[in-house]
């Protein structure tokens, strides 16, 4: 009877010891941990969730591991089983170890795991843990074309599910991604997408991405992209509008270009007059010679550019783009503007000469001005020839009619006079302009 009481007391002590012993499943290699939120938590209690980040920095995939141990008791039997989401039971055998102090299981996939710990007699207990392999891959991939740049290479944000072990209810933990894209030099694009489409850069660009998820996994990557896209652009100096003959230079403002082809078109009306359709072409970055527009009209200019070489399947390619500015160069129509209708050659240095203002002579190659009296007598004549008045500098030296016969004879009588101008424009068309003027000789 005394022996029976001693045995019963020993069993009670053992049971009490088991309840007080620190018994658990741990995972020292896990990157993140959380606890379950069972619907029937009052009956099931709380179990651990261990999260492993995959892949590693070297790109190798990651598997999970769990450790079970009763701290104060050695030489126990450990039986591991995995949760079967079809039968909702722990019936997939993983590993059994007999007479060991602790047990470790490796190479585990995502899922639920239960370990049963026994000593064959008085100890029989079990613990559950859930394990999630959190796949977050961040490796920038890109597709660069002449028109678009596509950035990708982010895979992750997959949810994790576990089950209430009492009623088999599926419980899902959402896993959101936060993505931040940056670049150097800076570009404008949506920085919250795992897949980015943007216009191509015309300079070499470095892209950076930082991705984080709901399990505190943060991964970064960067890549350097050589620019292949090209953008043509140009402007004319000094201005796109002038009078014939108009001599201009072009400034090339193209981006990322290595080859160039300029086309300077003739005005459509000049072409109808049996002139060439092209004024000039050039394959230099900037045309070596200035471009001369001799005739009035509206002229198109086209620039074709090619970017740096790149290779697709060992075939050399270049991005090609063109820009045509229609009616870009405008050469004024030939005309002679307004002339004064009165002058007073009395020597007071005010309105002493009859002359056409230089800016009223537009796109004129030659003209012959004759001044006659009301009786039809020629009293003065002036001939203008562009070759003799380059940029009108010589014309500006001409003071005009001073009111004397032929400019150096006697003074013409006050009164009414007429002028007749026969002109030829740079469009090779002749026209006549007539008018009258009054000569007054007031006393000083």
According to DSSP, residue 4 is labeled H
pLDDT of residue 13: 38
Alpha carbon separation from 178 to 184, 219, 229, 389 (Å, rounded): 20, 11, 30, 73
Distance CA 275, CA 67 (A): 92
Say whether both 306 and 346 belong to one domain: no
Statement to judge: residues 311 and 347 lie in one domain: no
Q: Is residue 33 part of a domain?
A: yes
Dmax (CA) for the chain in angstroms is: 167
| Pairing, β 149-155 against β 160-163 | unpaired
Domain endpoint, select from 167, 192, 225: 225
CATH code, domain with 39: 2.60.40.10
User: Per the domain annotation, does 260 fall within a domain?
Assistant: yes
Count of positions (residues) in the chain: 444
127 in the same domain as 43: yes
Are 300 and 216 in a shared domain? no
First to last CA, the chain: 160
Within a domain: 244: yes
Instruction: Check whether residue 310 and residue 339 sit in a common domain.
Output: no
CA angle 370, 373, 375 (to 5 degrees): 125
Last residue of a domain, one of 181, 201, 225: 225
Do residues 145 and 124 share a domain?
A: no
Looking at the chain, the number of H-run helices and the number of E-run strands are 4, 34
Same domain, 29 and 108: yes
The reply to whether 7 falls in a domain is no
Q: Enter the DSSP assignment of 360.
A: G
pLDDT at 42 over 60: yes
- Which residue range is the domain that position 422 belongs to? 335-439
Q: Grade residue 12 by pLDDT with cuts at 50, 70 and 90.
A: very low
Residues 90 and 104 both lie in one domain: yes
Rounded to whole angstroms, how far apart are CA atoms 355 and 357?
A: 6
User: Does 59 score more than 90 pLDDT?
Assistant: no
Q: Tell me the pLDDT tens digit for each residue of 103-156.
A: 999 999 999 999 999 998 899 999 999 999 999 999 999 999 999 999 999 999
CA-closest candidate to residue 66, choices 49, 53, 41: 49
Q: Is the dihedral of CA 423, 427, 429, 434 positive or negative?
A: negative
Q: How far apart are CA 363 and CA 354, in angstroms?
A: 21
- Shared domain check, 130 and 28: yes
Which of 205, 225, 245 is the endpoint of a domain?
225
* CATH label of the domain that carries residue 377: 2.60.40
pLDDT at residue 18 is higher than 50: no
- CA gyration radius for the chain? 47
Within a domain: residue 15? no
Q: Both 195 and 268 in a single domain?
A: no
Query: Angle at the Cα of 173 (from 167 to 176), degrees rounded to 5?
Result: 165
Instruction: For residues 27 and 126, state if they share a domain.
Output: yes
Structure tokens at 430: 């002749």
Mean pLDDT to the nearest integer, 370-393: 85
What does pLDDT average to over the chain? Answer: 90
What does the alpha-carbon distance between residue 3 and residue 224 come to, in Å, rounded to a whole number? 82
Give the tokens for residue 326: 């229609």
Strand boundaries in 232-352, DSSP class E: 234-237, 241-243, 246-252, 259-265, 278-282, 291-293, 297-306, 310-312, 315-317, 320-332, 335-336, 342-343
Residue with tokens 């030659």: 366
Taking the C-alpha atoms of residue 418 and residue 401, their distance in angstroms, rounded to an integer, is 13
Residue 261 domain flag:
yes
- Between vectors from CA 140 to CA 138 and to CA 145, what angle results, nearest 5°? 155
Q: What is the pLDDT of residues 270-295, one digit of tens each?
A: 777 667 899 999 999 999 889 999 88
Number of domains in the chain: 4
Residues 6+ apart with CB under 8 A from 378: 370, 371, 372
Q: Would you say residue 6 lies in a domain?
A: no
Report if pTM > 0.85.
Answer: no
* 164 and 238, same domain (yes or no): no
Residue 5 lies in a domain: no
């Amino acid at each position: 009877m005394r022996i029976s009481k001693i045995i019963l007391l020993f069993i009670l002590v053992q049971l009490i010891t088991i309840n007080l012993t620190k018994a658990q499943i741990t995972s020292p290699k896990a990157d993140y941990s959380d606890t379950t939120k069972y619907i029937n938590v009052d009956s099931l209690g709380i179990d651990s969730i261990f999260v492993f980040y995959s892949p590693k920095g070297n790109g190798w995939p990651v598997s999970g591991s769990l450790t079970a141990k009763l701290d104060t008791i050695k030489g126990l039997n450990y039986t591991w089983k995995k949760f079967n989401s079809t039968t909702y039971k722990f019936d997939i055998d993983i590993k059994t170890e007999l007479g060991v102090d602790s047990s470790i299981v490796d190479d585990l996939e995502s899922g639920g795991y239960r370990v049963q710990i026994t000593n064959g007699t008085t100890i029989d207990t079990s613990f559950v843990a859930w394990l999630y392999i959190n796949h977050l891959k961040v490796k920038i991939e890109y597709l660069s074309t002449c028109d678009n740049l596509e950035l990708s290479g982010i895979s992750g944000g997959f949810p994790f599910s576990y089950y209430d072990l009492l009623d088999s209810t599926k419980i899902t933990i959402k896993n959101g991604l936060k993505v931040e894209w940056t670049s150097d030099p800076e570009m404008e694009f949506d920085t919250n997408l795992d897949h980015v489409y943007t216009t191509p850069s015309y300079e070499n660009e470095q892209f950076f991405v930082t991705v984080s998820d709901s399990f505190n996994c943060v991964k970064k990557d960067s890549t350097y992209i050589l620019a292949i896209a090209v953008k043509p652009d140009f402007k004319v100096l000094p201005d796109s509008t002038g009078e014939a003959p108009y001599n201009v230079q072009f400034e090339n403002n193209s981006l990322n270009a290595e080859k160039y082809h300029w086309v300077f078109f003739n005005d459509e009306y000049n072409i109808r007059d049996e002139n060439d359709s092209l004024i000039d072409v050039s394959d230099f970055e900037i045309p070596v010679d200035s471009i001369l527009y001799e005739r009035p009209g509206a002229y198109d200019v086209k620039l074709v550019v090619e970017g740096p070489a790149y290779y697709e399947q060992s075939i050399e390619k270049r991005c090609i783009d063109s820009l045509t500015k229609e009616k870009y160069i405008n050469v004024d129509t030939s005309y002679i503007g307004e002339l004064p209708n009165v002058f007073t050659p009395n020597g007071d240095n005010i309105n002493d000469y009859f002359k056409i203002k230089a800016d009223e002579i537009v796109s004129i190659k030659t003209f012959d001005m004759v001044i006659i009296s009301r009786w039809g007598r020629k009293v003065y004549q002036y001939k203008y020839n562009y070759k003799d008045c380059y940029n009108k500098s010589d014309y500006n030296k001409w003071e005009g009619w001073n009111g004397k016969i032929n400019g150096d004879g006697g003074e013409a009588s006050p009164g009414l006079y007429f002028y007749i101008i026969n002109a030829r424009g740079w469009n090779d068309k002749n026209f006549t302009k007539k008018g009258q003027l009054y000569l007054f000789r007031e006393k000083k």
